[in-house]
Structure 1
Amino acid sequence: MGIIHNASFGRNDVTIEKTETIFKGFLQIERVSLRHRLFDQMGSSPQLTREIVHRKQAAGVLLYDDQQQKFALIEQFRIGAIQDPISPWQLEVIAGILDGDETAEDCIRREAVEESGCQVDRLKHLFSFYPSAGACDEVFHLYSAATHLPQQGGVFGVVTEGENIKLHLIDYEDLDLLLDSQRLCNAPVIMALQWLKQHLFTLDRL
């Protein structure tokens, strides 16, 4: 049980010796020189140099409608997937970057309207996680929300921000087919749909 609740080391076991900003734009990149403790050894590591991408926290939500037996995903172009063998247009949960002092839940409510036209009231927190802790300090807060989905999808997004987002409404009965396909290529959507599968299993047992 210890491995579940207690980390082996903490922040005080890392010594940062030098930090240098090497790029500052929409993202900020720093080069960090550091030493850290080692497992099963005395002392610290030799000096290591790592680059870290600083990115604001983000939040996303899976919208679902038990009455209609549907859930919502969005599809949009992503530069990081430009070399994807299937498509740079990725299927995702509704999501966005926290703006200023905005909370994750406020961010989700704003993004839900912008990307789907849906109002969201109650939110269920699923996970908060690092999408790519090997290089980036972004934290992603993932939620689900039961809501009343529209009868059909559409195209949404804030045009002035370069958004062109297609809303898909997917039947619950197609969930397993989607999970087995090669169209899900990012962690939040896979995690959210795995949660939805558990949710549907609970409904079936009631």
Structure 2
Amino acid sequence: MKNINIVDTQILSDNWYTLKKVVFEMTGIDGATSILEREAYDRGNGATILLYNKENQTVVLTRQFRLPTFINGNDTGYLIECCAGLLDHDNAEDCIRRETEEETGFRIDQVEKVFEAYMSPGSVTELLCFFVAAYSSDMKLHDGGGLQEENEEIEVLELPFEKALNMMKCGEIRDGKTMMLLQYAQLAGLML
């Protein structure tokens, strides 16, 4: 295990989220010490969920514009994803219930946490909590779509599970968290 000592931290940007430049001393296994600099983007931790209906063999996903994908070559900038959001000041379960209702229009009570993962640990501090929850049509309160005051324009998609798996295979679904939850659902037999 390497020994780490933070030497200096500078805030490079505190506009949308916080970008820090960190200088640290690291002692390697061989005992040699190095001074390194890295940048880390802190956007807070988050939660994501896959809504599934075993009886109908469907899942609820969303489609929304993601600027980083657009500037990285995604022609439209739109991604198909599982519902997700930042924790802000909530715990992960309260966050995902709130985000699910805002984005999809479904009010869910029972959620199951299945794992946690760092999504881009080379540069982003975010730890994401992954959930699954069963849904039914009687849980639908409104059309969803996100919050207007946050300029969210989210399209809600109810898709056959097999179609979602095929969309992942052919590249229509390219969001990491969504791919992980779809594969989890398949491996865990949620639709059986």
Q: Say if 2:18 is the partner of 1:28.
A: yes
CA contact (8 A) 2:42 2:125 kept: yes
- Unaligned 5+ residue runs, structure 1? 1-7
Q: 1:21 to 1:57 in 2, by over 3 A?
A: same
Extract structure 1 runs of 4+ deviating beyond 6 A: 150-153
The structural deviation recorded for 1:120 is 1.1
1:19 is matched with 9
Name the SS of the counterpart of 1:34 in structure 2. strand
Q: CA offset at residue 78 of structure 1?
A: 0.5
Alignment partners' CA distance in 2, 1:125 and 1:140: 11
Aligned-residue identity in percent: 26
Partner of 1:114: 102
Deviation of 1:124 (Å):
1.4
Read off the aligned partner of 2:27 and give its amino acid letter.
R
Bigger relative contact order (CA 8 A; separation at least 6): 2
Let me know the Cα RMSD of the aligned residues.
2.2
Q: TM-score, normalised by structure 2?
A: 0.90
Query: SS of the counterpart of 1:47?
Result: strand
Residues 80, 149 of structure 1: CA spacing in aligned structure 2 closer, same or farther, 3 A cutoff?
farther
Note if contact 1:58-1:95 (Cα within 8 Å) is conserved in structure 2.
yes
1:143 corresponds to which letter in structure 2? F
| Equivalences for residues 43-122 of structure 1 within 5 A | 43-44=32-33, 46-83=34-71, 84-100=73-89, 102-122=90-110
1:48 aligns to what SS in structure 2?
Answer: strand
Shift of 1:92: 0.6
- The question of whether the paired residues in 2 share the 8 Å contact of 1:63 and 1:145 is answered with yes
Partner of 1:164: 153
Quote the Cα distance in structure 2 between the aligned partners of 1:198 and 1:82.
Answer: 31
TM-score normalised by length of structure 1: 0.84
Aligned length: 190
Whichever residue aligns with residue 74 of structure 1, its letter is T
Which range moves more in the overlay, 110-119 or 145-154?
145-154
